[in-house]
Structure 1
Amino acid sequence: MTLSADLRAFEGRIGHRFTRPELLRQAVTHGSVATPGRTDNQRLEFLGDRVLGLVMAEALLAADPEATEGQLAPRFNALVRKETCAEVAREVGLGDVLKLGRSEMISGGRRKMALLGDGMEAVIAAVYLDAGHAAARDLVLRLWGARIGRVEADARDAKTALQEWAQARRMPPPAYAEVAREGPDHAPRFTIEARLADGRAARAEAGSKRQAEQAAAQALLAELEETRQP
């Protein structure tokens, strides 16, 4: 069975022509539309996450032979996290070809970070099963290439950096509290406050609690840098 025109166009955007088109169809099929004759992409997502991790680990080791494990780990996490997968998915238009149930369609599923991230991992697995590790590696390096090159040598997520700042000063870990939630269920906006034990705090807003926590931590780190208080 041949692929539809939209999936053929998607093949062009990711740079891989499938010899087993059923793998791509499975990779873009969400559980909300799965049937006994149509398998969803959850198993492929599981495999794709591991393939992505291996490719990124190899790429980071090759890019910086002198880096320690402590330096490599945060770079790795920044490149394989769900948010990054979703960013790549948006760039190649994966949301346009996802097969979703009516409820997911209505709730904006084509724009949801989790669905896009999962779908991108499933596509990686589909390429791996279709053509092997080399093809999957080439796909990942092609789509992630610029990100790999610019990931900071000491990249750490803001929450980790803020916790380390507090620990170095013998303070308890920062606390995070949801202070507001606005918007409809399919597109919520969360306001999170990051607070240190000494009372210093900062707030930030984002479309998910995780993103808002990271943004709040980053805002508080920026304030600490400005004041340079011990």
Structure 2
Amino acid sequence: MKLAADIKAFQKRIGHEFARPELLLRALTHGSVSSPTRPDNQRLEFLGDRVLGLVMATALLEADKDASEGQLAPRFNALVRKETCAAVAQQVDLGAVLKLGRSEMLSGGRRKQALLGDAMEAVIAAVYRDAGFEVARDMILRLWGDRIHAVEDDARDAKTALQEWAQARKQKPPTYVEVSRSGPDHAPVFTIAVRLQDGTEAQATAGSKRQAEQAAAQALLSRLS
């Protein structure tokens, strides 16, 4: 199968040349452009999430042989969460080669965290199916790089950090309110407000409620600091 120049360049960026390039093309195909003869990447995303989880769990155990489960769990969550997958996707410019429908392209799909994170997991699965676990593991460890050793600094997500900030000051937990929802059903956009007991608040917008809540919490933490 002859690949376009941008796909060949992407293979170089992730460090793997596919023996079965159709796997990569499927990993890069979003549901907005799929068809009966052109399947999307959702099944690969499902598999890639599990491959990534096994690689990261093993890497964390090897990196800190004395860590308890309670210490490992937040580190693991920080490394496999959608935001981290999206950051790695941006690092290799995955968005440039995503296959999207017109509506997704017009709504900025190539920059959406959810789409990028899902596609990164699908690419992991494609490499796994193309060349086996060891090759997929080596690619993951290479792309995630220093994140694995610096994960302690990122182990608490913004919502957890904000809740701990409030508790330390004897305030009630922050409240999150959906301010608005817009966009089509397949690509909704949420605006979420987070408010502390003392009335301090911040808002953020993202492609999922979870991402918007995290972004709002981070915005409020930045204001408080």
- SS of corresponding position for 1:152: helix
Quote the Cα distance in structure 1 between the aligned partners of 2:83 and 2:223: 25
Relative to the length of structure 2, the TM-score reads 0.85
The answer to whether the 8 Å contact 1:44/1:126 transfers is yes
Deviation at 1:155, TM superposition (A): 2.4
Quote the Cα distance in structure 1 between the aligned partners of 2:93 and 2:82: 16
Deviation at 1:214, TM superposition (A): 3.0
CA distance 1:213–1:32, shift in 2 (3 Å): closer
Quote the Cα distance in structure 2 between the aligned partners of 1:3 and 1:21: 8
CA RMSD of superposed structures (Å) = 2.9
Relative to the length of structure 1, the TM-score reads 0.83
Deviation at 1:40, TM superposition (A): 0.9
The answer to whether the 8 Å contact 2:19/2:130 transfers is yes
Deviation at 1:162, TM superposition (A): 4.0
The answer to whether the 8 Å contact 1:52/1:124 transfers is yes
Amino acid at match of 1:195: L
Deviation at 1:176, TM superposition (A): 1.6
- Report how many residues are paired: 222
Please list every run of 5 or more consecutive structure 2 residues that lacks an aligned counterpart in the other structure.
none
Please list every run of 5 or more consecutive structure 1 residues that lacks an aligned counterpart in the other structure.
none
- Of all paired residues, the percent bearing the same amino acid is 68
CA distance 1:149–1:193, shift in 2 (3 Å): same
- SS of corresponding position for 1:192: strand
* Deviation readout 1:17-41 (Å, 9 max, x if unpaired): 1111110010001111112211111
- SS of corresponding position for 1:67: coil
The answer to whether the 8 Å contact 2:78/2:154 transfers is no
The answer to whether the 8 Å contact 1:194/1:217 transfers is no
- SS of corresponding position for 1:176: strand
Q: Select the structure of larger CA radius of gyration.
A: 1
Amino acid at match of 1:23: L
Deviation at 1:3, TM superposition (A): 1.8
Task: Report matched runs for 1:3-152 at 5 Å.
Answer: 3-152=3-152
Quote the Cα distance in structure 1 between the aligned partners of 2:30 and 2:215: 30
Aligned to 2:210: 210
Amino acid at match of 1:42: Q
